[in-house]
Amino acid sequence: MIAKRAILIFLGAASVSVGLEIFLVPNNIIDGGVVGISIISKYLTGLPLGLFLTLLNLPFLFIGYKSIGKTFALSTLYGVLVMSAGTTLLHPVEPLTMDPLLAAVFGGIIVGIGVGLVIRAGGSLDGTEIVAILLYKRSPFSVGQIVMFFNFFILGSAGFVFGWDRAMYSLIAYYIAFKMIDIVMAGFDESKSVWIISDKYRELGDALLDRLGRGVTYLRGEGAYTGDDKQVIFCVITRLEEAKLKAIVEEIDSGAFLAVGNIHDVMGGQFKKKDIH
């Protein structure tokens, strides 16, 4: 488990290094958070990017150690050090493109994939996320809203340093990275939770097992308005199986209540696909 986490963090941090030094930094395009501040600091002082990535994250690492836990802090420290070393090693490498739009798109994709891998492994590469988690407990705003508030000023400052066109390219890169993080976190084969309320619950459950290959769980429920007993079917499927499940429900009981939600991780139990008929 520790080896797997270390490998994921290494791959993620190395990917971020590539996205920064091969695409974003040579084109004066920044990312959000500490990475964005570090890129601006590098431009203004001429000092190595890796130096700022490490020094600016250290205070947040201490806060994370005290408030979130030792494992998280050590994982984050490892990721930050790999990212900092990677940017130093890649700095002499020629960028693949000097087209700012291409740099923003591909840099955002690579950075987003890298950050997503690190987060999935239980670490972080940006201290502002740690602050956002702490402020979330004491404010009415979500973690995402707090991070966005920080990044609004960081990305906006790129306009004064690099020019407003680069600030707009930075917004493109940030948005793409943000979406790629979601994709990596959820996985391309995203799982979905399914809740079905139907009087034909037994027939529906057998059909889902036989025709979809997914096990189901029957839960007891009660209608709040009528007080009638209800049987609820719970099932976990993949994104690709959603259309077929809806077709099965429509065929057997078109009046059934059906709710489908996204879930990021499935652990334990018997989430294995059985043979279908």
Quote the CA–CA distance of 107 and 86 in Å, as a whole number: 15
Tokens of 134: 């702490």
Give the N- to C-terminal CA distance of the chain in Å, as an integer: 37
Question: Which pLDDT belongs to residue 66?
Answer: 76
What pLDDT, on a 0 to 100 scale, did the predictor assign at position 222?
79
152-161 pLDDT, tens per residue? 888 888 889 9
Listing DSSP states for 228-274 in one string gives -EEEEEEEEEEGGGHHHHHHHHHHH-TT-EEEEEEES---STT--PP
Spell out the alpha helix ranges (H) of the chain. 2-18, 33-45, 49-67, 70-90, 100-120, 127-136, 143-162, 164-186, 201-207, 242-252
Whole-number pLDDT of residue 183: 80
Rounded CA gap, 169 and 24, in Å? Answer: 10
Please tell me the predicted confidence (pLDDT) of residue 267. 66
pTM of the model: 0.74
The residues of the chain scoring below 50 in pLDDT are 277
